[in-house]
Amino acid sequence: MKIVVLDGYTLNPGDLSWNGLNELGDVIVYDRTSPNDTISRIGDSPIILTNKVIISKDIMKACPALKYIGVLATGYNVVDIDAAHELGITVTNIPAYSTASVAQMVFAHLLNITNGIAQYAEEAKSGKWSANPDFCYWNSPIIELAGKNMGIAGLGNIGMAVARIALAFGMNVLAVTSKPQSELPQGIKACSMEDMLSEADVISLHCPLTENTKEMINSKTLKLMKRSAILINTGRGPLINEQQLADALNNNELAAFGTDVLTVEPAKTDNPLLSAKNCYITPHIAWATTEARQRLMNTAVENVRQFISGEKVVNSI
């Protein structure tokens, strides 16, 4: 059976193996696929895998042999799900593969901000420590996390993993969640968005992107936060109004911002956050640990195997 991977490079730039998929059919892997090439590359293949290549209703109708679309990610907004259901096409995704890695990135950003890791490593290399008369050197506050309030917007798999790590650091966890207080682990307090924003010393965003959450961080909600607060976003870029956040950082209305996601990716060169004060941006790599990508690969192969064998596909949408 023919299997086409439309954009396999980000999952596997060469350090993983496609062998598991090769055992299931005749596989063609494209590193990247432009919109103009999508239909021709799908061709008569009944099975395709996509990460960011958009599969619209028109594309599905132009490829009548198509029976299965595997999304190489948790989010599946790249596929017209209603059209797929209408045309009898199975769609799958890869849930929860990157939970530990994304939670780790939250604290990589947070510890870099509170402890100045990148800053002091560079200053040590530049000779500032060597030129210092004392055995230690620092020129900005170093912040202890124990006893601070960790606010978490969205308590799904990743939000809960972040909460557990925060508790291990001795932080108090305030969560905006639909879960009742009686179902939350000890140490996690459910609260309103307004209370979380105003009480938290650190805020981490883990809610889905919806019409209600789009640009939830804006000039109005930023004013609710402590001026000393640190904001972390490993969720979705559009949760934030980037210009208004940049203004708040530049006006010292927020202490710092760490993010792994932006509204437009790759980052546009004129994105105001690129030049904002105390803003730390990583290029959407929280999910990309070797371990997380291997889990993603394993699940993608298993999804295809279940489909081909006629079993119920656990991760079908």
Domains parsed from the chain with CATH numbers: 2-97+290-309 (3.40.50.720), 99-281 (3.40.50.720)
pLDDT digits (tens, 9 = 90+) for 66-94: 999 999 999 999 999 999 999 999 999 99
pLDDT value of position 73: 96
pLDDT value of position 95: 95
pLDDT value of position 304: 98
Residue 280 DSSP code: E
pLDDT digits (tens, 9 = 90+) for 199-255: 999 999 999 999 999 999 999 999 999 999 999 999 999 999 999 999 999 999 999
SS3 content of the chain, % helix, strand, coil (to 5): 35, 15, 50
pLDDT value of position 98: 97
**Packing angle, helices 117-125 and 99-115, rounded to 10:** 60
Amino acid letter at 239?
L
Instruction: State percent of the chain over pLDDT 90.
Output: 100
DSSP for 282-315, please give it: --S-TT--HHHHHHHHHHHHHHHHHHHHT---TT
What is the overall mean pLDDT for the chain? 97
pLDDT value of position 1: 92
Cβ count within 10 A of residue 224 = 15
Please classify residue 283 by burial: count the beta carbons closer than 10 Å to its beta carbon, then call 0-12 exposed, 13-18 middle and 19+ buried. Answer: exposed
Contact (CB, 8 A) for 21 and 305: no
Residues 6+ apart with CB under 8 A from 113: 143, 230, 255, 256, 258, 278, 280
Q: What is the rounded CA–CA span in Å between residue 185 and residue 62?
A: 50
Mean pLDDT of 129-136: 97
Residues 6+ apart with CB under 8 A from 308: 1, 24, 25, 47
Residue 49 — very low, low, confident or very high, per pLDDT cuts 50/70/90? very high
75-79, 83-87, 260-264, 274-278: the lowest-pLDDT one: 75-79
Closest CA to 120 of 107, 138, 108, 135: 138
pLDDT value of position 178: 93
pLDDT value of position 121: 97
pLDDT value of position 180: 94
Instruction: State percent of the chain over pLDDT 70.
Output: 100
pLDDT value of position 140: 93
Known catalytic residues? 236, 265, 284
pLDDT value of position 294: 98
Residue 313 — very low, low, confident or very high, per pLDDT cuts 50/70/90? very high
Mean pLDDT of 146-174: 98
Mean pLDDT of 255-283: 98
Residue 273 — very low, low, confident or very high, per pLDDT cuts 50/70/90? very high
pLDDT value of position 136: 97
